[in-house]
C-alpha cells in the first residue's frame, strides 16, 4: 500500500508540474515573442549532421502591426478559412478527413491554424496519439488565453517557410528582398502556397502546381471578408 501511495503521489505531483508549466508558458507567450521552437532545434540538428548542408536558422520576429494585411488574409484563405469562427477545432473538416482516411490510404489532415501554431510552439513533429492529445490540450488553452490576433501573429512568426527560414519577415526578406509590411497580395499568396511543404517548394522558383495554388489562394482571399489584422 505504501508503494501504491508513493506512485500516486508522484503521478499527482507530476501532473501539477505539467499543468503549471504548460499554463505558465501559454500565458507568457501571450505577451512575449517565442524565442525558438522544437522544430527549429530539430532542423538545426538535421543540418549539423548533414555534410551537404550549412546550419541555417533565419528568423526575425515582427509584431502584427508590422506585417502586411495580405499575409494573414493569405494564410487564412489557404490553411483555415473558418479561423475567425471556430474555437481551435474545425469539427466539420475533422469529420470529412476521418471519412476520407477510412476510404483510402492517403492521410488527410484537418489542422486549424491554432493547432498548427500549438504544434510548432509547444510540441514536436509526430503522428502519435500522445502528441495529438497534447495538441488538443494546448489548443484549448491557447484559444482560451490568446486572442485570434495573437494566434495569427505567433503563427506568422514561427511557421517554417523554407529551409532554415521561419516566419513571414524572414521569408519576405529572403524571397522578395522587402519587409513583411510591404508584401502585396500576389507575394503573400505565393508564400502561403508553399506552406504544405516549404522545404520542397520555393516562392522564388514556383512550379506550375504552386502557381495554380497561388491563383486559387488569391481567389479565396477575394471571397473572404478582410480579417482585420496587419497593416
Does 25 score more than 90 pLDDT?
yes
Query: What are the tens digits of pLDDT across the range 44-56?
Result: 999 988 887 888 8
d(CA 172, CA 192): 11
Give rounded-to-5 percent helix, strand, coil for the chain.
60, 5, 35
Does 34 score more than 70 pLDDT?
yes
What superfamily does domain 33-223 belong to in CATH? Biosynthetic peptidoglycan transglycosylase-like (1.10.3810.10)
Mean pLDDT of the chain: 91
d(CA 59, CA 133): 29
Query: What are the tens digits of pLDDT across the range 133-188?
Result: 999 999 999 999 999 999 999 999 999 999 999 999 999 999 999 999 999 999 99
* pTM score of the predicted model: 0.91
- What is the per-residue pLDDT for 139? 97
Does 106 score more than 60 pLDDT?
no
Could you give the dihedral angle defined by the CA atoms of residues 211, 213, 215 and 216, in that order, rounded to the nearest 10 degrees?
170
Query: What are the tens digits of pLDDT across the range 177-228?
Result: 999 999 999 999 999 999 999 999 999 999 999 999 999 999 999 999 999 8
Instruction: Single out the residue of 53, 78, 4 nearest to residue 164, CA to CA.
Output: 53
Burial (0-12, 13-18, 19+ Cβ within 10 Å), 104:
exposed
Amino acid at each position: 500500500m505504501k508503494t501504491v501511495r508513493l506512485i500516486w503521489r508522484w503521478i499527482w505531483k507530476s501532473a501539477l508540474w505539467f499543468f503549471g508549466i504548460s499554463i505558465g508558458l501559454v500565458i507568457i507567450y501571450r505577451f512575449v515573442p517565442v524565442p525558438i521552437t522544437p522544430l527549429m532545434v530539430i532542423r538545426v540538428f538535421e543540418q549539423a549532421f548533414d555534410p551537404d548542408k550549412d546550419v541555417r536558422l533565419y528568423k526575425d520576429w515582427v509584431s502584427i502591426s508590422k506585417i502586411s494585411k495580405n499575409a494573414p488574409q493569405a494564410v487564412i484563405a489557404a490553411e483555415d478559412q473558418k479561423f475567425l469562427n471556430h474555437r481551435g477545432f474545425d469539427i466539420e473538416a475533422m469529420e470529412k478527413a476521418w471519412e476520407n482516411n477510412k476510404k483510402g490510404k492517403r492521410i488527410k489532415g484537418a489542422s486549424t491554424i491554432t493547432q498548427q501554431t500549438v504544434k510548432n510552439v509547444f510540441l514536436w513533429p509526430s503522428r502519435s496519439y500522445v502528441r495529438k492529445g497534447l495538441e488538443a490540450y494546448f489548443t484549448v488553452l491557447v484559444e482560451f488565453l490568446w486572442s485570434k490576433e495573437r494566434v495569427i501573429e505567433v503563427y506568422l512568426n514561427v511557421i517554417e517557410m523554407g529551409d532554415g527560414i521561419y516566419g513571414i519577415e524572414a521569408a519576405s526578406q529572403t524571397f522578395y528582398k522587402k519587409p513583411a509590411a510591404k508584401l502585396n497580395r500576389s507575394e503573400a499568396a505565393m508564400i502561403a502556397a508553399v506552406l504544405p511543404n516549404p522545404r520542397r517548394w520555393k516562392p522564388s522558383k514556383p512550379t506550375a502546381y504552386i502557381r495554380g495554388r497561388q491563383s486559387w489562394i488569391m481567389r479565396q482571399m477575394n471571397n473572404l471578408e478582410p480579417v482585420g489584422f496587419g497593416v
